[in-house]
């Protein structure tokens, strides 16, 4: 006598065919990772954040940087800057503080000695531009635009404005409007403004940047922080305070990106503590069109090129045919 198997029924031929059909459709799903940030075409949404990748030559010794969606260069200023004196980095729980001080060799050196390597990589290049005055921003942007080969400008407005007593451009509505509108006249390249998170109302500043001519935003820059060595009873950084980055700031970044995307529906490069593909996906669900890996490049130099693979697996698992469908797709409880 045959044993009965509880809860099981013979499958019909039609059900078997339908099952095979569903499996086939699932297997055929191939998530498209290509995206577009403010007019800049990316083959995948993973970039590297300014100040953590220099101009790519060192990392190119470790892996093929063409695996990235694009590169955001270290800050470029009009003239060479030596940066702040050491110590200018300090490790903190789940992050790090830095007060490097925008050390770089200046725009002419960048164009002559660093940009050619990037152009040989056939990868989108977004040049981060910093300055201490509106005039300095303008000089750098004009030179970059005339040279050619650069795909976009990331305007770092967290710099202190020497004409405003050191107040950062990105925390003052009038100064932000002036620098963005001026640079807008200087270039036809996409302008992505990297806003400071050290403000009470990120949405109003985002709107000001967009209304002044920005094509998109980078969120977020570092949070102002401080650390004290209890053995010496002195600050761990030469400049007392510095910018906090790394996983510790991720919840703040997610919150600000969500708020700005909800209010503005604009292109956003999300950054601030991305340490895995899961983190990148979370940033995109909050509203990021693309993401940038920053501090984690120092911890695991091989992380960034593997994140697109993780995003691809997520798209396939959820039967999504494009990474663009992730942007702002967070589901809120009713």
pLDDT tens string 258-304: 999 999 999 999 999 999 999 999 999 999 999 999 999 999 999 99
pLDDT tens string 172-194: 999 999 999 999 999 999 999 99
pLDDT tens string 1-41: 444 333 333 444 444 344 433 433 444 557 899 999 999 99
| Mean predicted confidence (pLDDT) in 315-332 | 97
Position with higher pLDDT, 162 vs 1:
162
pLDDT, residue 162, reads 59
Range with lowest mean pLDDT among 20-29, 69-78, 93-102, 319-328 = 20-29
Tokens for 180, please give them.
Answer: 């963005």
Listed residue (91, 74, 133, 101) closest to 239, CA to CA: 101
Instruction: Please name the CATH architecture into which domain 35-321 falls.
Output: Alpha-Beta Barrel (3.20)
Query: Is the pLDDT score of 91 beyond 70?
Result: yes
- Active site residues per annotation: 159
Tokens for 49, please give them.
Answer: 């954040």
User: Vertex 258, ends 128 and 52: CA angle to 5°?
Assistant: 30
- Tokens 């403000």, located at residue: 199
| Mean predicted confidence (pLDDT) in 313-330 | 97
Three-state SS at 293:
strand
Q: Do residues 213 and 180 lie in contact, with contact meaning Cβ atoms separated by under 8 Å?
A: yes
Mean pLDDT score across all residues of the chain? 91
Q: Do residues 194 and 218 lie in contact, with contact meaning Cβ atoms separated by under 8 Å?
A: yes
């Amino acid at each position: 006598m045959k044993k009965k198997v509880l809860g099981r029924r013979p499958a019909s031929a039609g059900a078997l065919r339908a099952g095979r059909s569903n499996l086939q459709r699932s297997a055929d799903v191939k998530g498209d990772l290509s995206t577009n940030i403010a007019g800049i075409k990316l083959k995948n949404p993973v970039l590297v954040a300014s100040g953590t990748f220099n101009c790519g030559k060192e990392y190119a010794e470790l892996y093929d940087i063409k695996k990235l969606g694009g590169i955001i260069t270290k800050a470029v200023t009009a003239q060479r800057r030596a940066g702040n004196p050491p110590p200018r980095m300090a490790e903190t729980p789940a992050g790090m503080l830095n007060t490097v001080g925008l050390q770089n060799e200046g725009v002419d050196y960048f164009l002559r000695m660093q940009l050619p390597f990037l152009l040989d990589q056939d990868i989108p290049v977004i040049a981060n531009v910093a300055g201490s005055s509106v005039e300095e921003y303008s000089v750098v942007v004009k030179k970059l635009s005339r040279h050619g080969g650069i795909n976009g400008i990331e305007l770092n407005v967290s710099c202190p404005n020497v004409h405003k007593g050191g107040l950062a451009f990105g925390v003052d509505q009038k100064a932000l409007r002036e620098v963005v509108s001026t640079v807008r006249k200087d270039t036809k390249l996409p302008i992505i403004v990297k806003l400071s998170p050290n403000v009470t109302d990120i949405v109003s500043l985002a709107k000001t940047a967009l209304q002044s001519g920005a094509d998109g935003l980078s969120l977020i820059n570092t949070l102002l922080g401080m650390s004290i060595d209890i053995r010496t009873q002195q600050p761990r950084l030469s400049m007392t305070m510095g910018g906090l980055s790394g996983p510790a700031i991720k919840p703040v970044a997610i919150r600000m990106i969500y708020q700005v995307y909800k209010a503005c529906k604009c292109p956003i490069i999300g950054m601030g503590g991305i340490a895995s593909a899961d983190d990148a996906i979370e940033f995109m669900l909050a509203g990021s069109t693309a993401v940038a890996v920053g501090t984690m490049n120092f911890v695991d130099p091989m992380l960034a090129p593997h994140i697109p693979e993780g995003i691809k697996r997520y798209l396939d698992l959820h039967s999504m045919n494009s990474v663009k469908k992730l942007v702002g797709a967070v589901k809120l409880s009713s």
